[in-house]
Amino acid sequence: MLKLIKFLSPYKGRVTAMLILLFLQVLGTLYIPTLTADIVNNGIVAGDLDHIWKTGGFMLAAAVLIAAVSLAETYLSTAIFSRMGRDIRNALFEKSQALTIDQFNQFGPASMITRSTNDIMQIQMAYMAGTEMILPVPIMTIAGLFLAFPKALLWQ
C-alpha cells in the first residue's frame, strides 16, 4: 500500500484539504455531546429555559455545519481516490503495453482485465475506508481526552 502513495502525490493540496475537513468533522462530532452536557448541567438543572434554547440553537447550527463539512470531505475524498484509481489503471496499461506477447500470455487477458478493474477498485476502497474509518480514530481519541479531562490535560 505504501508503494501506491506515489499516485496521491499529484493531489497533495486536495489531500491536505481533505485531512483538514476530516479533522473539523471529527471535532464537530465530538462537540455535540459537549453541548448536550452543557444543556443538562446549566440549563435543565438550573431551570434556565433561555440557556436551553440558546445552546440548542447553537447545537442545531453546529450540526448543519458538521453535515456540510462531512459532505465536502466525502466528496473530496471520493474525487481524490477516483483519480488515483484512474492513474493506477493508466500506469498498469502503460506497463502492459511494454510486455512482450509471451509475458502477456503468462498473465492472460482475463487476469489483466481483473487486475485493471476489480483489483484497482479494491485498492481505491481500501484507501477510502482507511481515510473515512481508520484515520479519524487517533484524532477522536486525542480530542475526546481533551474534552473529557480538559483541566487534567492542560495542567491547570
Residue 76 burial by Cβ neighbours in a 10 Å radius (0-12, 13-18, 19+): buried
Helix (H, G, I), strand (E, B) or coil at 149: coil
CA dihedral sign of residues 139, 72, 8, 123? positive
Instruction: From first to last of the 156 residues of the chain, give the pLDDT tens digit.
Output: 677 888 999 999 999 999 999 999 999 998 898 899 889 999 998 888 999 999 999 999 999 999 999 999 999 999 999 999 999 999 988 888 888 888 888 888 888 888 788 888 998 999 888 888 898 999 899 888 887 777 665 655
81-96 CB burial, b ≥16 within 10 A, e <16: bebbbebbbeeeeeee
